[in-house]
Amino acid sequence: MKIGIDSYCYHKFFGEVYPMEEAPKNPMSIEDFLNRAGELKVDGVSLETCFIPSFDESYLKKVKELIDKYNFDVVVAWGHPDGLEGGKYEPGVWEIIDQLKTCKILGTRVMRIVGSSLKYRYDPHEPQLKKIAKMMRKVVKLAEENGVKIAMENHLDFTIDEIADLVSKIDSTYFGVCFDAGNCLRNGDDPVYGVKTLNKSIYATHIKDVEPVYGCDPKEWYFFSSTPVGKGIINFPAVVNELKKVGYKGYLAVEIDNLHPKYNGEVDKAVVQSVEYLKNIAK
């Protein structure tokens, strides 16, 4: 299977520094990220739109030159941090539609989106899902016309069964899921069950491993903090094997959000270890 990296791994280098993190001395640009991914010889990259400084065609074409240099498979990732806000953010529909232009320029076949977030996790889910379904019906037709599949992440919001039901109701091969293994566990679902249930509707992944931070309030989302893939508590050989069984054709995209304190903020080192681990188990 192919291996990739989501640019969110380096969020603090792009200026999004969590309260528990230290700001790095050397910031990172999209170009820096693509070159680093190239050095690590991965197959794909997921580019968070919140870190792309310009959507002017001239700039995006320069980014495409680097993508072509390394022959990357690309996912455009829209919606950080709250996306459609559980259906409250109507402009999000037009933002997603507008990003189809970005997908076309960058040669993207999959766009990851966010339907809701931790912020709305404890609001009633059914009204959120109904609103999101209505929004997605507006998006899916245009996505199909542009040859781009929409993949909604399980973003610490809905259960795997709820997302599977949403996919079934929209009933389009152009709407599926960005499966985040770490968020799956954080939300009380078994990641292997998640892959089995979502099955062929998985169009993108976030391969995020996690481990408890003891002494932290278990109600905090970062109680399960990120580790290098293979160093946490998720059974990734089983997850990857299940992805093979369901015929997943995309790449395994390493994602790190809040790095576990025992790794001393060394994000790049964690990314390198993750890529090496995945290359070994994904053969």
DSSP string, 32-97: HHHHHHHHTT-SEEEEEGGG-----HHHHHHHHHHHHHHT-EEEEE--TTTTTGGGT-THHHHHHH
* Average pLDDT value over all residues in the chain: 98
Q: Which residues contact 72 (CB under 8 A, 6 or more apart)?
A: 4, 34, 37, 38, 42, 43, 44, 45
CA distance 166 to 135: 12
Taken as a whole, the chain contains a residue count of: 283
**H/E run at residue 265:** none
Task: Return the structure tokens found at 136.
Answer: 């997605």
pLDDT at 283: 86
117-129 pLDDT, tens digit per residue, is 999 999 999 999 9
Q: Residues 73-85: pLDDT tens digits?
A: 999 999 999 999 9
Domain with 270 in it: what CATH number?
A: 3.20.20.150
pLDDT digits (tens, 9 = 90+) for 23-67: 999 999 999 999 999 999 999 999 999 999 999 999 999 999 999
pLDDT in tens, 233-275: 999 999 999 999 999 999 999 999 999 999 999 999 999 999 9
Domain with 51 in it: 2-281
Q: What average pLDDT does this structure show over 98-110? A: 98
Beta-bridged to residue 149, according to DSSP, are: 110
pLDDT tens for 132-174 read 999 999 999 999 999 999 999 999 999 999 999 999 999 999 9
Name the residue with tokens 């230290």.
22
- Confidence (pLDDT) at 156: 96
Q: What is the dihedral sign for C-alpha 122, 128, 129, 132?
A: negative
Q: What is the pLDDT of residues 171-210, one digit of tens each?
A: 999 999 999 999 999 999 999 999 999 999 999 999 999 9
Residue type, 161: D
**Own/partner long-range contacts of 39-42 (Cβ < 8 Å, ≥24 apart):** 40/5, 40/271, 40/272, 40/275, 42/3, 42/4, 42/5, 42/72, 42/251, 42/275
d(CA 279, CA 3): 7
CA 218 to each of CA 70, 176, 181, 212, 215: distance values in angstroms, whole numbers, following the listed order:
41, 30, 18, 8, 9
Cα-to-chain-centroid distance, residue 81: 11
pLDDT (0 to 100) of residue 189: 98
Residues 6+ apart with CB under 8 A from 259: 225, 226, 227, 265, 266, 267, 270
d(CA 209, CA 220): 17
As for how many domains the chain has, the answer is 1
Bond preceding residue 53 cis, omega within 30 of 0:
no
Instruction: Give the position of tokens 């994602």.
Output: 255
Chain centre to alpha carbon of residue 12: 16
Contact call for residues 141 and 98 (beta carbons, < 8 A): no
Using the structure block, give the residue that is written with the tokens 């069964």.
161
pTM of the model: 0.98
